[in-house]
């Protein structure tokens, strides 16, 4: 259940920050972002420092960071260039003790805009704003200016689990123009990955819009005993999966099933005439359920912005993310941690069960999915469970709407039921996810994904690392 991605850019940022904030995140580091004028200069802009190119800005609506910023301390010297016809234009920007050094700055109207603050919520993003005035013509251009190559953007999936082999799948909407081969393959089995190995999907210029990747099966034995991995037919519900020995089918994306996997949803927008259509965004989602641990981070350290609820609202700030500081993660503390957490998340929908009139205890919703051999295959979300059991156990379409945020629940305001009422946001499943230290920036219901909504530079390559806790003793 993917949101519509907003474009968080340099010129858009200040306006977004001035909107009301719903929550605040503590920021230990401030950051400085370029804000190019929307007229009077030509894009792209090449930024140099110390004689070397440090940034490339192809659009005034893309987020490009100068770097960390400390008020009263940050120093720096930058030379900015753009070309119009055959003539190069340039200006200098100097920072001294966290302020514009007027003596050494020639960029017209250069100013540092402080973060906006409203209702007690503070951003950690400052911007360098420039006036919409042409810069000074130069006899010579910059030294070897290089445009960013967006054609090699990638998603890399790594098997860091305890399993000798795993299979991954991909689900995408072929009707979306950017969702086509080779980056988009609508199949529950697109690769088999050995322990410690990786599989890379090249996204390129076409982008990949709201696709979904997930683990679809895993081998429970040593590599030598894994044999041939299961096929789509073997993992499909006919009526139950029949994979080869030592394999477990999971995810529920096979024919005849309702999806319940830990889902990785990339929206990497297309590049048109060398200019990205917006920032890149990848979410880790438990909206359908969860089946395996995941760590998600930029392949190379990157500055990314994040938002605050409600859905598609405001840029609150930024962070510097890497393998050591993931954007999102679901990390089991033991081999059985996710199964135990799922068992503790079963709903008791007293207000929905017809047996309530007879004053008999309602039957809990068993969200756990297991293989025929008893291996953990995943945990269904209440939405998935209600959808799969429509017409039984007192589950009506209204029940499905209530837990899937559809119908009259298609906005955050109507989907978020108040405490004491049963709905997607107050379900034990979702509150357990929010309280668990195993989950970081993973969202559990459709309109809760502002907590996992990160926008990274359009050129970012991402790594999805599948992980599992140590085997139980």
Domains and CATH numbers, the chain: 10-138 (2.60.40), 151-473 (2.60.110.10)
State residue 100's pLDDT score. 98
> Distance (Å, rounded) from C-alpha 391 to C-alpha 309?
33
- Is 32 a residue whose pLDDT tops 90? yes
Average pLDDT across the chain, whole number: 86
> Distance (Å, rounded) from C-alpha 371 to C-alpha 90?
65
- The pLDDT tens digits of the residues spanning 335-361 come to 889 999 999 998 765 555 444 455 555
- The pLDDT tens digits of the residues spanning 363-393 come to 788 999 999 889 999 999 999 999 999 998 7
State residue 147's pLDDT score. 97
> Distance (Å, rounded) from C-alpha 288 to C-alpha 310?
20
Cα 403 to Cα 141, 364, 387, 406, 431, distances in angstroms: 59, 15, 9, 8, 13
State residue 444's pLDDT score. 92
- The pLDDT tens digits of the residues spanning 405-417 come to 887 777 777 788 8
State residue 240's pLDDT score. 83
- Helix spans in 267-378 (H): 337-343
Sort 126 into a burial class: Cβ within 10 Å, 0-12 / 13-18 / 19+.
buried
Do residues 199 and 157 make contact, with C-beta atoms less than 8 angstroms apart? yes
Do residues 216 and 235 make contact, with C-beta atoms less than 8 angstroms apart? yes
> Distance (Å, rounded) from C-alpha 73 to C-alpha 78?
16
Per-residue pLDDT band for 141 (boundaries 50, 70, 90) equals: very high
The Cβ of residue 137 has, within 10 Å, a number of other Cβ atoms equal to: 10
Cα 372 to the center of its chain, rounded Å: 33
Sort 305 into a burial class: Cβ within 10 Å, 0-12 / 13-18 / 19+.
buried
Higher pLDDT, 408 or 247: 247
- The pLDDT tens digits of the residues spanning 85-128 come to 999 999 999 999 999 999 999 999 999 999 866 556 678 889 99
Per-residue pLDDT band for 323 (boundaries 50, 70, 90) equals: very high
- Is 307 a residue whose pLDDT tops 50? yes
């Amino acid at each position: 259940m993917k949101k519509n991605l907003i474009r968080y850019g340099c010129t858009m940022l200040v306006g977004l920050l001035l909107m009301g904030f719903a929550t605040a995140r503590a920021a230990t580091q401030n950051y400085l972002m370029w804000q190019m004028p929307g007229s009077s200069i030509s894009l792209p802009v090449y930024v140099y420092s110390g004689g070397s190119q440090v940034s490339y800005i192809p659009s005034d609506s893309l987020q490009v960071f100068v770097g960390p910023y400390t008020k009263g301390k940050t120093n720096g010297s930058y030379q900015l260039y753009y070309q119009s016809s055959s003539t190069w234009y340039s200006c200098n920007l100097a920072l001294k003790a966290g302020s514009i050094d007027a003596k050494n700055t020639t960029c017209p109207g250069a100013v540092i805009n402080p973060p906006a603050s409203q209702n007690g919520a503070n951003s950690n993003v400052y911007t360098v704003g420039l006036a919409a005035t042409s810069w000074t013509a130069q006899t010579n251009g910059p030294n070897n200016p290089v445009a960013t190559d967006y054609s090699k953007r990638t998603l890399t999936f790594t098997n860091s689990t305890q399993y000798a082999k795993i299979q991954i799948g991909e689900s995408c909407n072929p009707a979306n123009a950017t969702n086509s081969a080779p980056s988009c393959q609508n199949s529950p089995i697109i690769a088999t990955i050995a322990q410690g190995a990786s599989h890379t999907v090249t996204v390129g210029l076409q982008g990949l819009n709201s696709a979904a990747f997930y683990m679809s099966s895993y081998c429970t034995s040593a590599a030598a005993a894994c044999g041939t991995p299961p096929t789509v037919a073997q993992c499909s519900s006919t009526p139950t999966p029949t994979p080869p020995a030592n394999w477990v089918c999971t995810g529920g994306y096979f024919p005849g099933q309702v999806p319940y996997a830990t889902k990785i949803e990339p929206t990497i927008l297309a590049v048109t005439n060398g200019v990205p259509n917006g920032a890149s965004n990848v979410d880790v989602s438990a909206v359908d359920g969860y089946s395996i641990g995941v760590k998600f981070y930029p392949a190379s350290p990157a500055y990314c912005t994040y938002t605050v609820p409600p859905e598609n609202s405001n840029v609150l700030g930024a962070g510097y993310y890497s393998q050591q500081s993931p954007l999102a993660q679901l990390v089991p503390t033991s081999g059985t941690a996710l199964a135990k957490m799922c068992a503790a998340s079963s709903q008791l929908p007293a207000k929905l069960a017809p047996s309530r009139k007879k004053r008999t205890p309602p039957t809990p919703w068993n969200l756990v999915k297991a293989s025929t051999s008893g291996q953990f295959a995943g945990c269904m979300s209440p939405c998935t469970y209600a959808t799969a059991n429509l017409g039984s156990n007192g589950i009506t379409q209204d029940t499905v709407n209530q837990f899937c945020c559809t119908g009259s629940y298609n906005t955050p305001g109507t989907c978020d039921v108040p405490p004491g009422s049963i709905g997607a946001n107050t379900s034990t499943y979702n509150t357990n996810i929010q309280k668990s230290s195993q989950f970081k920036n993973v969202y559990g219901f459709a309109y809760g994904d502002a907590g996992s909504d990160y926008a990274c530079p359009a050129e970012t390559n991402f790594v999805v690392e599948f992980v599992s806790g140590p085997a139980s003793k």
